[in-house]
Amino acid sequence: MTKQQKYLYVGVDLHKAHHTAVMVDHWNTKVGEIQFNNKPSAFPELLQEVKKHTKRGTKVVYGLEDVGGFGRALAMYLTENQWWVKEVNPKLSTARRKSHVTVQKSDSWDAECVARVLRDELERLPDAKPVDLYWAISQLVMQRKWVAKNQTALNQKIHQQLSYHYPSYKQFFSEVDGKTALAFWWKYPSPNHLQRVTEDDLAYFLRKLSNNGLSNKKAAQILTIVQQDGDTTRDYQEKRDFIVKSLVRTIRFNQMEMKRIEEETRGLMKELGFQLETMTGIDLVTAAELVAEIGDIHRFATPDKLARFAGIAPIFAGSGGKSRNYKSKQGNRVLHEIIKGIAIRQIAVTRGKKEPRNPYFYTYYEEKMAAGKTKQQAIVCIMRKLVNVIHYLMRTKAVYVMPEVPVKQAG
């Protein structure tokens, strides 16, 4: 009996209310199917159905696409009952579905495609280990992303409203949602509120908010700009002022919510003991995003497996005696973009002295460019090196130590 013949492959298509599971044997032949509700009391139904199609000496392996969302409860149930569960990247099952001449779309067919990917890619798929700590961090990361997205929309709205009231508002403050700026918009939502305000009054107000960072010069500048813009008062001005103050109130709430989420995240990250933030370009938020997407690092025995999971490892293609490596468009694209962002920050330079923030990676980048690589190709090379670093830091919980920059030999 071959290794593949030892397994029954169970692919599960996951949904909010119910799941569909399809079983295939080592010949990729469908042998069973079941639909069951997405609740722990219904999960034994799956095991009973799978047992009917399990021959003596055959092991069962389950493949789930979404072990952090709708499939989390099932993944927890299966792993806690000592069943082998693999995480199947949705791009792989989607590609399998589209590879057929007639493209189908149904829960049953989707589940069968997951099972077939599981059968063909078994050794390369990461084990699903839905640990509560990692899941909680991923939930906080998702919540922060939602708040940040909402904040971006709010900033766009307040830009629009301010442009009606203060045509030259962008000259007032460097950031429209900064502490001092928000306090100004709140107290003076439109120019008519500044009519009886003197330069000294405004300067006193600004100094208190900016810890003496802004002076009479800024107050005089604002008042002059307002006068030059002309009268922008219109009917129902008080209602438009209300909109500005409402936006300020919501932006402030979101800013506080972001801080609360980050504090909660910081507490959970301390439990893990990682020191990812010691590396250039990784702050608390980025470190949490990495952990949310990677989960338990021990799912990946080697950096190569982590690179494949992130879609960073190149894909080999050959035909007619010719071959080349192609950039992978598979893998976890969220993790791929996180690592790409970190890679770009490695080659950044300081604002003042224009010195590299990470001399080692900056030198490596220059070497790749000198060797004829394009900028994007060089960044991918950095990303692959970063995978090694991230894998090591997460497995050992070590502090990042920047390698020495090789000394260039005189030509």
Q: Is residue 223 part of a domain?
A: yes
For residue 41, the one-letter residue type is S
Same domain, 263 and 283: no
Residue 238 lies in a domain: yes
Q: Are residues 142 and 260 in the same domain?
A: yes
119 and 162 belong to one structural domain? no
Specify if 59 maps to a domain. yes
User: Is 409 among the domain residues?
Assistant: no
Average pLDDT score over the chain: 91
Q: How far apart are CA 180 and CA 355, in angstroms?
A: 32
CA–CA dist 397, 52 (Å, integer): 45
Q: Which residue, 223, 236, 235, 163, is CA-closest to 195?
A: 223
Per-residue three-class SS string for 183-239: HHHHHCCCHHHHCCCCHHHHHHHHHHHCCCCCCHHHHHHHHHHHHHHCCCCCCCHHH
Got the DSSP string for 345-408? HHT-B-TTT--BSSHHHHHHHHHHHHTT--HHHHHHHHHHHHHHHHHHHHHH-PPP-PPPPPPP
DSSP-derived secondary structure for 265-284: HHHHHHHHT--GGGSTT--H
Residue 342's Cα: distance from chain center in Å?
A: 12
Is the residue at 408 inside a domain? no
The answer on 116 and 12 residing in a single domain is: yes
37 and 107 co-located in one domain: yes
The pLDDT tens digits of the residues spanning 16-69 come to 999 999 999 989 899 999 999 999 999 999 999 999 999 988 999 999 988 778
**What gap in Å lies between CA 43 and CA 39, rounded to an integer?**
7
Q: What is the pLDDT of residue 47?
A: 97
In this structure, the answer to whether residues 18 and 111 fall within a common structural domain is yes
**Same domain assignment for residues 217 and 342:** no
Would you give the end-to-end CA distance of the chain in angstroms?
A: 61
**Looking at residue 4, what is its pLDDT?**
55
Among 84, 115, 130, the domain-final residue is 130
Any domain includes 405: no
**Amino acid symbol at 79:** T
Final residue in a domain of this structure, among 130, 161, 186: 130
Q: Are 64 and 74 in contact (CB under 8 A)?
A: yes
Instruction: Say if residues 266 and 284 touch (Cβ distance below 8 Å).
Output: yes
Pick left, alpha or beta for residue 402 (phi over 0 → left; psi -120 to 50 → alpha; otherwise beta). Answer: beta
**Does 261 fall in a domain?**
yes
Nearest one of 133, 364, 163 to 271, comparing CA atoms: 133
User: What confidence tens digit (pLDDT) does each residue in 221-267 have?
Assistant: 999 999 999 999 999 999 999 999 999 999 999 999 999 999 999 99
Pick the closest to residue 115 from 86, 91, 73, 83 (CA basis).
Answer: 86
What domain range includes position 14? 4-130
The CATH number covering residue 151 comes to 1.10.287.4070
Cα atoms in the 13 Å half-sphere on the side-chain side of 93: 27
Which residues neighbour 314 within 8 Å (Cβ) at sequence distance 6 or greater?
325, 326, 327, 328
Question: Which residues face 24 on adjacent strands?
Answer: 9, 30
Q: Clarify whether residues 94 and 208 are in a common domain.
A: no
The rounded distance, in Å, linking the Cα atoms of 23 and 66 is 18
Residues 288 and 333 in one domain: yes
Tens digit of pLDDT per residue, the chain (411 long)? 455 568 999 999 999 999 999 999 989 899 999 999 999 999 999 999 999 999 988 999 999 988 778 999 999 999 999 999 999 988 888 888 887 655 567 899 999 999 999 999 998 899 988 889 999 999 999 999 999 999 999 999 999 999 999 999 999 999 999 999 999 999 999 999 999 999 999 999 999 988 888 889 999 999 999 999 999 999 999 999 999 999 999 999 999 999 999 999 999 999 999 999 999 999 999 999 999 999 999 999 999 999 999 999 765 444 455 545 556 677 899 999 999 999 999 999 988 888 999 999 999 999 999 999 999 999 999 999 999 999 999 999 999 999 988 766 544
Distance in angstroms (rounded) separating the CA atoms of residues 290 and 282? 10
Domain count for the chain? 3
pTM: 0.80
For residues 345 and 279, membership in a common domain is answered with yes
**Residues 340 and 302 occupy one common structural domain:** yes
Asked which of 269, 294, 313 is the last residue of a domain, the reply is: 269
Tokens describing residue 190: 């439109």
Which two tokens mark 35? Answer: 């639909």
Q: What is the CATH number of the domain that holds 43?
A: 3.30.420.40
Q: In this structure, are 10 and 121 located in the same domain?
A: yes
Give a yes or no: residue 411 inside a domain.
Answer: no
